[in-house]
Chain A
Amino acid sequence: MITNWLSEPSLTAAILATLLPFAAFILIMVFTRKYPRLSAGLSIAAVGISLISALFLLVRHWHLQTPLEYTGRWLLSGDVAVPFGYLLDQTSLLMLSVVATISFLVQVYSLGYMAGDAGFSRYYACMSLFAWAMMSMTLSPTMLQLYIFWELVGLASYLLIGFWYEKFSATEAGKKAFVMTRFGDVAFFLGLLLVLVHLGNLNVLEMNGPQVATRMSSTYITIAALLIFGGIIGKSAQFPLLTWLPDAMEGPTPVSALLHSATMVAAGVYLFGRLFPFFSQSAAAMAIFLMIGTVSMLLASTMAMVSRDIKQVWAYSTISQLGFMIMGLAAGSYFAGMFHLTTHAGFKALLFLCAGVFIHSFESNDMFDIGRQGGRRLKIPMACTIIAAAALAGLPPLSGFFSKEVILGALAELNNPLWLAAGLLGAFLTAYYTFRLIFIILFPRQSGAESESGHGHDHGGYWVMGWPLIVLAAITVLLGFFQGALEAFFSGQQGIPVAGAGHHGWLPFAAIGLALGGVLLAWLEFGRQGADQVGFVEKIAPLNHLFAQRWYIDRFYRRFMDVFIYGVVSNLFTRNDKKVIDGGLDGLSQATVETGRLVSLLHRGMVQYRLLTIFVVLVFLGLYFFI
């Protein structure tokens, strides 16, 4: 086991960061369920210390050259050794900091948002569970440990999405999320097993190292990569497993902000980054990843264009941006994906938290309602939303602009201009749907119906919900300027192939132009006076339907489940059990009973049959003896 952990400050920090939330979870679940304030305090204290530890580690190891690994034997069974520990390198430390920061801010925000809820303690317990699982996942030195915490993160997501369990739609959404991600996890697990069988262990550094190519043939590497990517598809809600994420918006908004925008769904992208050298070994796999990322990005953008629910728009946007990150990674640029991951976490969480303020104040998710009821009069959320939206759309000088540039640059390096075109189209659509929402809220029609009762809620919580917004807005504004520092930070990362740095001077301008074009189109359709606030897509009814129904993917899954899984397979097996196997057995016992009945006929009291038998036997005996 890990000994002398106090003597190594990095190890201490890592342990504090990951295990304190777990301790909080246990304490809350067992002891403090009845004391909501104490529970919240425990949870926030734990994640606060995690945040400090994470930042400490980040700063301390800013110039890290070789990764630090601390492991102890957790389990040894025959040939399989399961170590447990921490791997500290650039990727994991940055992700840890992101997770810790957003977790802390969201938990503070939740003090206001969830105030008065009956399940307050349970909420914080689940939040702590999530924090523990997510942070342990980022610091995992082996894929097995990562998988374990990956599953636990999924569990926390299930518990939090279905938090208001009295609503059927919430528990349905939670179940759907879990089962869909489980689907991806099965593929993930199979990929890990494949690697384990060939490589002998699942150590991340080894998988990223050069031995892999010697031990596994390239076909196996490709298959393993594709299978592991299955997990990423599930967790990051890429095509075709993307429909659980919009449904996951049933959960409380802080949950959406934390899990389903910034951290949990980003775990898929993080995994991609974690295994980037491994994946890079297979060009075929990377090409497929690129395709999936592109398809997801474009599909989700189209769905966002017709949605009326504010959280759904941001959910689709998350899927789209994750697809964008995957495009960047699959194009061969490690930094592109990771940088956008970081900036996206900041502004997407901000968007959700602002949406949370709107929803909390006006009790409606519908953006038209929010606009009508006077959403624009909430100054801080509105301002933060606009800042974050601009970052999302990729407008300078916000962080989103810088990170999108890197990705577009990576796409431009590819031979096929199709990907770059797709990326630029995506940028245009993103700006369009983002500012559609902004303008609907900013410039509502029938503004005479503004209700004053929108502020009938707990004002005491307002400041608590307010300052995390400001912090995130500040990060959004400033983070972009750290690009150079981050790039230098990542250059120390082991095993990353150096991305070709091409000069495409026209690219930033094209991107800005498209973004502004999107904003303009949104303005024309929604913002300016006299516009009818119906988008160009919404006017085309079939397209509208297609996008609104999520390209009928959900319908397809529902039919598949009902017809095939329930109707055919389950039905078949159940009938088999009842009729064939049980039927056979019951038939066997019936036959035994009937045979008994038949045999008992021999015992009928009919004298004459017995006499007949005697005569016949005597005749035969006589024949036998005398002839």
Chain B
Amino acid sequence: MIVPFNHVLILAGLLFLMGIFCVVARRSLIMILLGVEVMLNAAAILLVGASLRWQNLDGQAIVLFVFAIAAAEVSVGLALIVWAYRRTGSINPENYNILK
């Protein structure tokens, strides 16, 4: 293997953490969605690396599914954000507090 599996693990882990950070610490709904995308891509990288490690093509097949689902999820999410922005005039999650 050209790239040692450990490096793949570390890369995927770092990317995942960055994704979490983006979800949690940014004051924008779109950034939350971006963060979720990053987390998904990190999982995809890990799956490809795992497929290479154990010489099984199933991992790469899963990644194709993940891309499809990610695309669908992002479009639905963005549509919701657009609607929510039209309702409340803001994409800052702090303003979504009627339940308080």
Contact = CB atoms under 8 A, between A and B. Distances in A.
Interface of A: 600-601, 603-608, 611-612, 615
Nearest to B36: A611
10 interchain residue pairs of minimum CB distance = A605-B97, A605-B99, A612-B24, A604-B100, A605-B96, A608-B24, A607-B93, A604-B97, A603-B100, A606-B93
Contacts, number: 31
Interface of B: 20, 23-25, 32, 93-94, 96-100
Nearest to B26: A608
Nearest to B100: A604
A606 B94 contact: yes
A478 to B, nearest CB: 100
A612 B22 CA distance: 11
A611 B100 contact: no
22 contacts: A604-B99, A604-B100, A605-B93, A605-B97, A605-B99, A605-B100, A606-B94, A606-B96, A606-B97, A607-B32, A607-B93, A607-B96, A608-B23, A608-B24, A608-B25, A608-B32, A608-B93, A611-B23, A611-B24, A611-B32, A612-B24, A615-B24
A615 B25 CA distance: 13
Contacts of A600: 100
State the main secondary structure of chain A at its contact with B: helix
Given A606-B94, A611-B32, 17 more contacts: A603-B100, A604-B97, A604-B99, A605-B93, A605-B99, A605-B100, A606-B93, A606-B96, A606-B97, A607-B32, A607-B96, A608-B23, A608-B24, A608-B32, A608-B93, A611-B24, A612-B24
A615 B97 CA distance: 21
Which residue of A601, A603, A605 has the most chain B CB atoms within 10 A of its CB atom?
A: A605
Nearest to B31: A608
Contacts of B20: 615
Contacts of A603: 99-100
A601 B100 CA distance: 7
Contact of B98 (A605, A608, A611, A615): A605
Contacts of A604: 97, 99-100
B15 to A, nearest CB: 15
Nearest to A600: B100
A32 to B, nearest CB: 75
A352 B32 CA distance: 104
Contacts of B99: 603-605
A603 B20 CA distance: 22
A615 B35 CA distance: 13
A33 B24 CA distance: 89
Nearest to A602: B100
A607 B93 CA distance: 7
A36 to B, nearest CB: 77
A611 B32 CA distance: 10
A555 B94 CA distance: 71
A605 B97 CA distance: 4
Nearest to A613: B24
A603 to B, nearest CB: 6
Contacts of B96: 605-607
Contacts of A608: 23-25, 32, 93
A512 B35 CA distance: 122
Contacts of B93: 605-608
Contacts of A601: 100
Nearest to B97: A605
Nearest to A615: B20
